[in-house]
Amino acid sequence: MSRTALYTGTFDPVTNGHLDVVRRACRLADRLVVAIGVHSSKTPIFTAEERAEMLRAVCGPVAEAAGATVEVVTYSDLAIAAARRHGATLIVRGLRDGTDLDYEMQMGAMNETMAPDVATVFVPASPDVRPITATLVRQVAAMGGDVSPFVPPLVAEKIRARFAPR
C-alpha cells in the first residue's frame, strides 16, 4: 500500500533544515508532496515558481535516494485541504526546539479536529540544522553574509544573485 505525506511551508528560501525534513519524510512515505504556502500577507524574496523549481531540484535526488517520489505544489488554503486534495494521510512537520513543539502541537491538534483521518507526524531536526531558519537565512543574505553553510549550493547561488549589488 502506498502512503502519501504532505510537507507544508513557505520555503523562502529552501534551507538545509527543509532538506533534513524531506529526507526523514521520505522514509515514512512512498510519495511526498511538498506544498508551498502562498499567502498575500507575506512578501517572499523568491516567487512561488522559483521556490518550486529549487525544491524540485534539491528534493528530487533526496527522495530518489530513499526510494520515494516528490511532487511540488502550491496552496493558498488550509493545509488539511491540500492534504485531502493530494491524497495525503500524513502531514510531516519538523521540530527544531521547544518553541516549534508548542506551536506545532497546537496546529496538529487543530488539523486532527478538522480531519481525524490525517495524522500529523513530527520529526526532530538533526543537530547540525537545528539553528537554521529561513528567516535568519534571509536576514544574513540581506546584510551581505554568506549563507552557503545553511542552504543547498543551488539555493546559495540563487540567493547571491538575488542580493547581488546592482
Res 41 pLDDT > 90: no
Number of Cβ within a 10 Å radius of residue 87: 12
Residue 39 reports pLDDT greater than 90: no
Q: What is the pLDDT of residue 166?
A: 67
Q: Is the distance from CB of 41 to CB of 70 less than 8 angstroms?
A: no
The per-residue pLDDT for range 81-126, each reduced to its tens digit, is 999 999 999 999 999 999 999 999 999 999 999 999 999 999 999 9
pLDDT score of 1 more than 90: no
Distance between CA atoms of 16 and 113, rounded to whole angstroms?
31
At 79, the pLDDT band (50, 70, 90 cuts) reads very high
Name the average pLDDT for the chain.
95
* Rounded Cα distance, 103 and 122, in Å: 12
C-alpha cell belonging to residue 85: 486534495
Determine the residue type at 76: S
The DSSP call for residue 131 is T
Domains of the chain (ranges, CATH numbers)? 4-133 (3.40.50.620)
Chain centroid to CA 20: 9
What integer pLDDT is reported at residue 18 of this predicted model? 97
Averaged pLDDT, 25-50: 93
Beta-strand pair 31-37/90-95: unpaired
Q: How confident is the model at residue 72 (pLDDT cuts 50, 70, 90)?
A: very high
CA distance 51 to 36: 8
The Cα 98–Cα 105 span in angstroms is 10
Cell numbers 485541504 correspond to what residue? 81
Q: Tell me how long the chain is.
A: 166
